[in-house]
Amino acid sequence: MKNQKNLFEQSKQFVPGGVHSPVRSFKGLESTPRFIEKAEGAYIQDTEGKSYIDFCMSFGPLILGHKNEKVEESLQQALKKGWSYGACEPYSLELAQYILNRVPFLDQIRFVNSGTEAVMTALRLARGKTGRDKILKFNGCYHGHVDSMLIKAGSGLAGTSTASSKGIPKNVAEDTLILDLNDEKGLQECFKIHGKSIAGVIIEPLPANNGLLIQNPDFLKKINSLCKANGSLLIFDEVISGFRVNFSGMAHDLDITPDIVTYGKVIGGGLPVGAIAATKSVMETLAPVGEVYQAGTLSANPLAMVGGLSTLKQLDETTYKQVDDNALKIEELFSDWFKNYDNGKFSHYKIIRYKSLFWFAPNRSDLKSIDEIPQNLTHEFLPLFETLLEKGIYLSPNAYEIGFVSLAHNSEVLKDLERRLYN
């Protein structure tokens, strides 16, 4: 048995902040990060032997739950053959065909190693295809740690933007335009000023990294129409929503056909993966066919391809319905608990949910932009997170991160959840 605090202190000696991704540090929380050593189904277990019902689910890819038997079996069989070749292999072809056969508006796909890498390539592709430099993004959408995506709004619509991280050159920020979500007036004005220099507009069609900010479909359709009118490419970042809300993602739910889509998470079954997909005319701008360079030593890693394909093959209308039903029941359980626990201690919370994604949100009016989120959210989140953690219920350790439900959150887990909530 390994003590969590000791492990964290040791880790901080060798790793910046003791973590390999900042959100894992539990920054702003009173608890020590949990070191997880095994998982199964809807449960994770830390090094001290405590189990938790997991609503992080590796931040989304584990739609079937941890250690799914069919995925595990497929990985074991692949592992016997090898795990990295640096050459062409058949597994990525199988996964590519499976995805493209189910997303009607896409012709070709290229696999990379992360969502960040997919976004980086999508932006370069948009610039290479259009011959333009500027990219429009939205406050409240996260697109990985690409330099040009770690930009926040500056002073004025037509003015400069500023980097939200050290190490990003000013000239990078200058080519990134920023607008608030759900700001149709600002959107129209931005295109009026910059339309003919905008290579692409990138947006999470379901913003899910600064809370769950479900957008008005008309706003997204306006973005699409302005892109078409100005020759800009619309990039849907569906790293989170792709293959989680359904096979064709938010593009299907919104009845919008983006020019480029980025994927990740679910398509790797929990292994590192990302992807860029578009029509053939756009994708053949990439090398070796076109002049936009992209490469990756470990891209289309055989294990990620096999794990992803095994995951996707288990998803169908029945599976998605079951996962969404699980999420609905979880929403109901938490909603009742918010009202009833400890004389309404958490009654100022509500759940915002879209299918199998949910967010513990302030009990305010409909939230569509980050400016509408109370600034003290992290402080408010602390007692809720600590209470649930003590009860053996694991959330993403950040007030702005969302929760994920899987097929493994079945009726037995729901009973256990209710027991843990009220004990």
Q: Is 265 known to be catalytic?
A: yes
Catalytic residue among 46, 54, 237, 259: 237
For 4, 83, 185, 374, the CA distances from 181, given in Å and listed in that order, are 39, 42, 11, 16
| Cis amide linkage into residue 288, ω under 30° from 0 | yes
Round to whole Å and give the CA distance between 194 and 178. 12
Q: What are phi and psi for residue 62, nearest 5 degrees? A: -90, 65
**Tokens of residue 263, six digits:** 């994927």
Amino acid at 320: Y
Q: Taking Cα atoms as reference points, which of 290, 369, 326 lies closest to residue 65?
A: 326
Round to whole Å and give the CA distance between 341 and 348. 12
Interacting residues of 196 by C-beta distance below 8 A, sequence separation 6+: 132, 230, 231
Catalytic residue among 91, 142, 263, 400: 142
> What strand order describes the sheet that includes 260-264?
108-112, 274-278, 260-264, 233-237, 198-203, 134-139, 176-180
Q: Is 237 known to be catalytic?
A: yes
Neighbours of 388 (CB within 10 A): 21
Q: What are phi and psi for residue 374, nearest 5 degrees? A: -55, 140
Angle at CA of residue 209, ends 212 and 353, nearest 5°: 20
Catalytic residue among 134, 137, 265, 350: 265
Spatial contact of 93 and 306, defined as CB atoms under 8 Å apart: no
**Tokens of residue 182, six digits:** 């759900």
- For the chain, the first-to-last Cα distance in angstroms comes to 26
The residues annotated with a catalytic role in the active site are 142, 237, 265
